[in-house]
Amino acid sequence: MASSAGTPNVPDYIIAEKIGSGSFADVFKAFKKGKTREVVAIKCVLKSNLSKTALDNLISEIKILKELKHENIVEMKDFVWDDRYIYIIMEYCSGGDLSNFVKSRRRLPEAVCQRFLQQLASALKYMREKKVSHFDLKPSNILLKSRSHPILKIADFGLAQHMPEDDTNSTIKGSPLYMAPEIILKRQYDAKVDLWSVGVILYECLFGKAPYSSKTMDELIEKIKKDKAIDVPYGTNISPECRDLLQSCLERDVSKRIDFEMFFSHPFVDLEHKPGPASMTKATDLLTTAVNFDECQEYEQAFRHYCEALQYLVPLLHVEGNASKRSALRRKIAEYMNRTEDLKKIINNESDAIKNMKIPKIQSEESVGSTEYKGNREELLRLTATTPQIRSAIEIAASGELYAYEGNYTVAFEKYQLALGKLLEHLQNEPKGRRKDLLREEVKRWMSQAEHLKEVLNKDSSQASVNEELFAESDDKNCSVQ
């Protein structure tokens, strides 16, 4: 292990703390010397640990990262070396990896999964343009820029390589749990193995575990060998579009598995409405047109344009970091949604197109008042395994977190109230010890979140808009939703 050689000395950087460790390298948080004090992550690879294959992978990773510049791919800032180490200097991602993010929440709401999938798909599309395949996509190789406003960053390109569309490979690469069956069974595969891995990642985010989760490697291999379709649980609250994409990615027959073109255009991926620099402009143009149609009483056309505008507006909520701007944007979006619902009732005709047209909803937003969670819930769950009443209350409170994460603050507050009523009673009778300390820690945090939710729910919604550019034209025209 690289760690056996102690903390390295990287020129122009101050090493702060170790944040990760692997077979061939340790990763440290560091600060660039100088006035800016830029925070970075430095992968320190001890040369003496490298086999010929590991060295080839490292060289490949450096070459690929040098040319990949995308908002959802970890940026390599520089690389240097000395007699003992090779240092890869990367952007710092404070949110940890997707694996721990999912574990801390047990499972993620579909709306959050869709946002994550959009980011992942955007990176994959860019990689396809560069003819790069990753071959080791898994939650632990996907980092989060932060937890308060999670932005995914694909990392660890050690197994990635340039691969033409029709090229195949025969070397086993990747992690078995996320590895496409053809890699193990046939040892002949192409770039579509990345789409299988995407399916496994989406499945794990939705249901809390990978489809082939096993206790032993032998059990895992046996599951992979069985020519049996992946079972996407029915009775779970996921949309038909989400289910279709899961089944299309997790198709064992490579010839039937979704291809990249179909994946990027899939309605659940919905790359067109991924938040970006052009989203606001498109939304503004559509709203202006919608208001004009509305004033002229051309309600069907107004309805269509409002719906299209909302498809661009709603995702912008999740990338707006300023709390007051986000609140104002949320209020205005709610007004346009209400007007769209009214128009649907006014139209009230037999048009299947109108009937089947979905009005976007504000389904999810980062947790109210959320901060990066640094608690010990996994340990608490282990300690309460024999006390179902406490464990049940913890799970109710955890579901409250998910509802808050989705923006459903009323239900979230009710969940917190129910859970805290039970937990406070148990806490009074809990004997002194580690379990009581952890339980008190969680209760205190949930009480704080419940208080914050109460403030939000009681807050006067009549804040002045801070997004005049977006709504100025519709305000001037006395839009009927004002």
Vertex 344: Cα angle to 342 and 346 (nearest 5): 70
Is 186 annotated as ligand-binding?
A: no
Tell me the C-alpha to C-alpha distance, in Å, between residue 400 and each of 282, 306, 379. Answer: 35, 31, 20
The answer to whether the CB of 432 falls within 8 A of the CB of 452 is no
In three-state secondary structure terms, 258 is coil
Question: Active-site residue 227, yes or no?
Answer: no
Tell me the C-alpha to C-alpha distance, in Å, between residue 120 and each of 193, 207, 270, 326. Answer: 15, 18, 12, 24
Sequence-distant (6+) residues with CB within 8 A of 71 are: 122, 151
What are the b/e assignments for 151-182, b being 16+ CB within 10 Å? bbbbbbbbbbbebeeeeebeeebbbebbbbbb
Paired with 89 in beta bridges are 42, 78
Annotated catalytic residue: which of 26, 97, 136, 294? Answer: 136
Q: How far is CA 57 from the centre of its chain?
A: 27
Sequence-distant (6+) residues with CB within 8 A of 204 are: 102, 139, 210
Q: Which of 258, 240, 149 is nearest to 199 (CA)?
A: 258
**What residue numbers does the annotated binding site cover?**
47
**What residue numbers does the annotated binding site for ATP cover?**
47
Active site residues: 136
